[in-house]
């Protein structure tokens, strides 16, 4: 369920009820001490472990341990962390394309006009496409050809036994097709990272697309499906009925039991009603949506059990839509759009205790939509009988279409896919800024340690906040409008009630206990020993304040970021998260992985390093409902395999005996060999499964995705794969490889973040 599963006890807000989606963390943690290798531990230990003494020992145990290590992440009591900072790291300026010898000059014609509209037909995209493909860069093609050829071979080697009944040839053919497709794709890839960058602020020179895709209009319910009010059938008008269905669809969801949600919904629903409807329907509790709900469930079910043919048809029509609306032409290249579909109307599902949950998110009309494209491109047609709100040609932004959403009044955008140049370039730049921070972080740390002693209150607060941001990877914490959103905070917006100071806690001096709701109402709970100076300052900051008062009353993110950017151009609070995440990954990989490990162990090490980062960044998830079950399944599989192994071993022994008895019988000799192989195979499989179980258990409440996608410099992972001889697709799936194509292409085994 999406809402707020677990009522935590994070300290909450100014007179607001809190129902935090607390998950892991605190001792009383929901799932009670079930397993000895609870990953929750890691979280707790983050601060509890006096890192230094334990570290050495833990690292040694690494190989077999089940507990998951985070030492170097949190240990980080000041001395340690600050030593670890690196001085060297000459600007190797990976971001400057010049460095890569083969930079390609943008061809003269490229800041282009693009194809003129006049001749364009509805199949424009296709045509452009072909044109694109006809742009051969031969030398590269050959190179890639080789590259790709290798990959699939490896893959095959990894799954050697495809022993399904299907004919081998069929499988081979399918595989070959896949390979070919991949190859083609690779050759078409726009290697933008080898090109010059545009002047500042210009995002594109040509942009053409078909506009966003609108969801289908609402159709009346079938006659036999009824809404009841006060026990009587009421035939609703189109508008009210549509909104009623939104609610009915969510009946299984916890949302619909919450007062705030129900009230907001009812208020907005009534606005959609006709006068008579509004007069009649005055109490949500008298509404009976069950028939609508049932109908909806049946529809979902029907979709699930569709025949293969039907599914294929569906897939086909979807593909056509993607083909038509899912791509744009950006500076001569066909790029995938990320979210080309206009968000359908529905009920707003805010997270946590959102004051606006349940409000009606209205249907977007073309009249609400601003289109952005090149002047000389073929302007997208609005749906028949409609017009756009505006068509503009702003090449200093990256969006293709935008509209204002009615619940929060915020802008929504249609933008490109992560694999696009526009997103990729920005991503690359982000990691380069983080690397620049690496080379000066020592100085910055020294400075804020100094600043903590400053006579200026503002400077001191800034220094302490920065200390937290650096040490704990907290988010900046912008101010939010009260009552508009759930009550969540980040560093600068921490309130007195969110921390508790302990002169002595669990054998440690000067411990700060954090307990607050962060982004998405995810609880942050941590007990952190800090320096005396920080501790004393915190006491001072809290003096004479109410629990609901700001801890850093002289500070906000704007001030902080201004200061940061004066230390290093481009430096902002969130760069510390990126930097600390990436550097942690690199260190952890270094510490945890061994060349002599088998592939499964290497992967486990990678995941553990990734996990260390996720813990640092407080990326949590609700364990899947099926978690325990699937864990048990795996365990029984392991047990089964164990038995099998024992059996195989005894058979081997027997066979060996036979050989001894009738020596030099070549047939028996062969049997022994075969049995040996069987044992070995069994052992390998068992081991693989055990590693898998460990990994899964440790991952119970940790979400790796966000850090992998947004915080970890992909070049670290690519280099690691090369060094460890792990195929990249063990780490990154297809879309991740696409997103990080720039990194995959440019990174050698020697990359250092």
Residues serving a catalytic function are 711
Please report, as residue ranges, which positions from 193 to 212 form the binding site for DNA (by CB under 7 A).
203
Q: Indicate which single residue of 21, 44, 205, 641 sits in contact with DNA (rule: CB under 7 A).
A: 21
Nearest distance, CB of residue 619 and DNA, angstroms:
4
Nearest distance, CB of residue 481 and DNA, angstroms:
8
Whether 495 and 479 have beta carbons less than 8 Å apart is answered as: no
What would the 3-class secondary structure string for 283-318 be?
A: CHHHEECHHHHHHHHHHHHHHHCCCHHHHHHHHHHH
Q: Report if residue 490 touches DNA, rule: CB under 7 A.
A: yes
Sole window of 89-97, 138-146, 348-356, 546-554 interacting with DNA (rule: CB under 7 A): 348-356
For DNA, the closer of residues 333 and 708 by Cβ is 708
**Apex CA 400: angle with CA 198 and CA 735, to 5°?**
80
Please report, as residue ranges, which positions from 400 to 459 form the binding site for DNA (by CB under 7 A).
402, 404-405, 407-408, 410-411, 413, 415, 423, 426-427, 430
Sole window of 257-265, 396-404, 524-532, 597-605 interacting with DNA (rule: CB under 7 A): 396-404
Dihedral angle, C-alpha 442, 447, 450, 453, nearest 10 °: -140
Please report, as residue ranges, which positions from 247 to 306 form the binding site for DNA (by CB under 7 A).
253, 300, 303
Compute the radius of gyration of the chain from its Cα atoms.
Answer: 30
Q: Report if residue 6 touches DNA, rule: CB under 7 A.
A: no
For DNA, the closer of residues 176 and 749 by Cβ is 176
Cα 52 to Cα 76, 81, 423: the distances in Å are 9, 11, 40
Please report, as residue ranges, which positions from 702 to 721 form the binding site for DNA (by CB under 7 A).
703, 705-707, 710-711
Beta strands 327-330 and 499-505 are unpaired
Nearest distance, CB of residue 56 and DNA, angstroms:
31
Cα 123 to Cα 235, 323, 331, 378: the distances in Å are 43, 10, 18, 11
For DNA, the closer of residues 21 and 44 by Cβ is 21
Q: Report if residue 565 touches DNA, rule: CB under 7 A.
A: yes
Q: Report if residue 521 touches DNA, rule: CB under 7 A.
A: yes
3-state class percentages of the chain: helix first, strand second, coil last, to nearest 5: 50, 10, 40
| Closest-CA residue to 753 (of 584, 607, 565, 595) | 584
Q: Indicate which single residue of 261, 388, 399, 720 sits in contact with DNA (rule: CB under 7 A).
A: 399
Burial of 190: CB neighbours in 10 Å, binned 0-12, 13-18, 19+ = buried
Q: Indicate which single residue of 1, 96, 321, 540 sits in contact with DNA (rule: CB under 7 A).
A: 1
Nearest distance, CB of residue 191 and DNA, angstroms:
19
Sole window of 146-154, 187-195, 342-350, 649-657 interacting with DNA (rule: CB under 7 A): 342-350
Q: Indicate which single residue of 207, 476, 659, 721 sits in contact with DNA (rule: CB under 7 A).
A: 476
| Closest-CA residue to 187 (of 153, 229, 149, 230) | 149
Whether 7 and 523 have beta carbons less than 8 Å apart is answered as: no
Please report, as residue ranges, which positions from 685 to 704 form the binding site for DNA (by CB under 7 A).
703
Chain position carrying tokens 């001749």: 119
Q: Report if residue 478 touches DNA, rule: CB under 7 A.
A: yes
Nearest distance, CB of residue 151 and DNA, angstroms:
15
Burial 379-404 (b: 16+ CB within 10 A, else e): bbebeeeeebbebeeebeebbbbbbe
Q: Indicate which single residue of 86, 233, 558, 647 sits in contact with DNA (rule: CB under 7 A).
A: 558
Nearest distance, CB of residue 659 and DNA, angstroms:
34
Element (H, E) at 563: helix 557-567
Q: Report if residue 644 touches DNA, rule: CB under 7 A.
A: no
Sole window of 84-92, 349-357, 592-600, 663-671 interacting with DNA (rule: CB under 7 A): 349-357
Please report, as residue ranges, which positions from 598 to 637 form the binding site for DNA (by CB under 7 A).
617-622, 626, 629-630, 633-634, 637
Q: Report if residue 354 touches DNA, rule: CB under 7 A.
A: yes
For DNA, the closer of residues 575 and 592 by Cβ is 575
Half-sphere exposure of 292 (CA within 13 A, CB side): 24
Q: How far apart are CA 613 and CA 125, in angstroms?
A: 42
Q: Report if residue 343 touches DNA, rule: CB under 7 A.
A: yes
Q: Report if residue 466 touches DNA, rule: CB under 7 A.
A: no
Nearest distance, CB of residue 20 and DNA, angstroms:
11
- Count of residues for the chain? 753
Burial of 365: CB neighbours in 10 Å, binned 0-12, 13-18, 19+ = middle
For DNA, the closer of residues 459 and 707 by Cβ is 707
Total number of residues that touch DNA (CB under 7 A):
86
DSSP string spanning 126-162? HHHHHHHHT---HHHHHHHHHHHHHHHHHHHHHS---
Q: Report if residue 377 touches DNA, rule: CB under 7 A.
A: no
For DNA, the closer of residues 349 and 533 by Cβ is 349
Chain position carrying tokens 């490229």: 110
Q: Indicate which single residue of 256, 578, 584, 717 sits in contact with DNA (rule: CB under 7 A).
A: 578
Nearest distance, CB of residue 708 and DNA, angstroms:
10
Burial 706-734 (b: 16+ CB within 10 A, else e): bbbbebbbbbbbbbbbeebebbbeebbee
For DNA, the closer of residues 364 and 659 by Cβ is 364
- Taking CB atoms within 8 Å and a gap of at least 24, the contacts of 667-675 are 675/648, 675/651
Sole window of 98-106, 575-583, 641-649, 661-669 interacting with DNA (rule: CB under 7 A): 575-583
Q: How far apart are CA 424 and CA 430, in angstroms?
A: 10
Q: Indicate which single residue of 129, 339, 447, 644 sits in contact with DNA (rule: CB under 7 A).
A: 339
| Closest-CA residue to 285 (of 260, 257, 245) | 257
Q: Report if residue 350 touches DNA, rule: CB under 7 A.
A: yes
Q: Report if residue 391 touches DNA, rule: CB under 7 A.
A: no
Nearest distance, CB of residue 586 and DNA, angstroms:
17
Backbone angles phi, psi at 72, to 5 degrees: -65, -15
Sole window of 99-107, 228-236, 471-479, 670-678 interacting with DNA (rule: CB under 7 A): 471-479
Nearest distance, CB of residue 267 and DNA, angstroms:
17
Burial of 61: CB neighbours in 10 Å, binned 0-12, 13-18, 19+ = exposed
Half-sphere exposure of 677 (CA within 13 A, CB side): 6
For DNA, the closer of residues 21 and 41 by Cβ is 21
Please report, as residue ranges, which positions from 70 to 89 form the binding site for DNA (by CB under 7 A).
none
For DNA, the closer of residues 328 and 476 by Cβ is 476
Q: Report if residue 477 touches DNA, rule: CB under 7 A.
A: yes
Nearest distance, CB of residue 368 and DNA, angstroms:
13
């Amino acid at each position: 369920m999406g809402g707020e599963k677990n009522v935590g006890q994070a300290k909450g807000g100014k007179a607001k009820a809190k129902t935090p989606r607390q998950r892991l963390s605190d001792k009383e943690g929901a799932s009670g001490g079930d397993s000895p290798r609870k990953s929750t531990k890691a979280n707790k230990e983050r601060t509890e472990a006096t890192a230094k003494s334990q570290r050495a020992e833990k690292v040694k145990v690494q190989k077999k341990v089940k507990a998951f290590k985070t030492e170097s992440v949190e240990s980080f009591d000041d001395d340690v962390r600050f030593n670890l900072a690196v001085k060297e790291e000459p600007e190797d300026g990976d971001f400057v394309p010049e460095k890569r010898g083969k930079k390609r000059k943008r061809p003269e014609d490229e800041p282009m006009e693009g194809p003129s509209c006049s001749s364009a037909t509805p199949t424009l995209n296709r045509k452009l496409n072909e044109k694109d493909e006809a742009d051969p860069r031969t030398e590269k093609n050959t190179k890639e050809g080789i590259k790709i050829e290798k990959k699939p071979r490896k893959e095959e080697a990894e799954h050697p036994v495809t022993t399904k009944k299907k004919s081998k040839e069929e499988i081979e053919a399918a595989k070959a097709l896949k390979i070919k497709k991949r190859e083609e794709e690779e050759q078409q890839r726009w290697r933008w990272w080898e090109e010059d960058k545009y002047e500042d602020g210009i995002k594109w020179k040509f942009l053409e697309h078909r506009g966003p895709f609108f969801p289908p209009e609402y159709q009346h319910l079938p006659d036999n499906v009824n809404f009841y009010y006060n026990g009587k059938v009421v035939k609703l008008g189109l508008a009210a009925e549509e909104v009623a269905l939104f609610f009915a669809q969510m009946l299984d969801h916890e949302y619909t039991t919450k007062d705030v949600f129900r009230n907001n919904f009812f208020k907005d629903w009534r606005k959609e009603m006709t006068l008579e409807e509004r007069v009649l329907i005055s109490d949500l509790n008298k509404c009976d949506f069950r028939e609508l709900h049932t109908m909806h469930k049946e529809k979902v079910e029907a979709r699930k059990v569709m025949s293969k043919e039907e599914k294929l048809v569906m897939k086909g029509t979807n593909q056509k839509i993607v083909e038509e609306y899912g791509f744009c032409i950006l500076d001569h290249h066909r790029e995938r759009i990320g979210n080309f579909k206009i968000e359908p109307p529905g009920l707003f599902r805010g997270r946590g205790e959102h004051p606006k949950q349940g409000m009606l998110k209205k249907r977007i009309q073309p009249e609400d939509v601003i289109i952005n494209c090149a002047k000389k491109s073929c302007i997208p047609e609005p749906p028949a009988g409609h017009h756009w709100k505006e068509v503009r040609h702003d090449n200093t932004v990256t969006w293709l279409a935008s509209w204002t959403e009615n619940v929060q009044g915020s802008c929504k955008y249609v933008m490109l896919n992560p694999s696009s140049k526009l997103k990729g370039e920005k991503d690359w730049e982000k990691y380069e800024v983080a690397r620049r921070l690496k080379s000066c972080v020592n100085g910055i740390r020294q400075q804020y340690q100094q600043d903590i002693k400053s006579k200026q209150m503002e400077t001191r607060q800034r220094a302490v906040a920065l200390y937290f941001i650096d040490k704990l990877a907290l988010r900046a914490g912008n101010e939010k409008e009260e009552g508009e959103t759930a009550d969540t905070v980040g560093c600068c917006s921490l309130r007195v009630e969110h921390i508790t100071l302990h002169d002595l806690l669990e054998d440690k001096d000067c411990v700060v206990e954090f307990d607050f709701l962060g982004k998405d109402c995810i609880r942050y709970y941590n007990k952190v020993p800090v320096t005396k100076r920080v501790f004393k300052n915190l006491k001072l900051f809290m003096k004479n304040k109410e629990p609901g008062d700001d801890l850093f009353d002289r500070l906000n993110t704007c001030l902080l970021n201004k200061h940061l950017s004066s230390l290093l151009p481009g430096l902002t609070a969130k760069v510390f998260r990126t930097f600390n995440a990436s550097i942690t990954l690199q260190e952890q990989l270094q510490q945890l992985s061994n060349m002599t490990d088998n592939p499964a162990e290497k992967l486990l090490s990678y995941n553990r390093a990734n996990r260390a980062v996720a813990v640092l960044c407080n990326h949590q998830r609700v364990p899947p409902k099926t978690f325990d079950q699937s864990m048990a399944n795996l365990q029984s599989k392991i047990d089964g395999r164990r038995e099998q192994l024992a059996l195989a071993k005894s058979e081997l022994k027997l066979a060996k005996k036979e050989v001894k008895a009738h020596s030099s019988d070549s047939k028996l000799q062969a049997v022994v060999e075969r049995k040996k192989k069987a044992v070995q195979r069994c052992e390998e499989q068992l081991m693989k499964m055990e590693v898998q179980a460990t990994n899964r258990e440790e991952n119970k409440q940790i979400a790796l995705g966000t850090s992998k996608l947004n915080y970890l410099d992909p070049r670290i992972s690519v280099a690691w794969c090369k060094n460890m001889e792990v195929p990249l697709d063990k780490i990154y799936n297809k879309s991740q490889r696409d997103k990080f194509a720039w990194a995959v292409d440019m990174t050698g085994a020697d990359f250092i973040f």
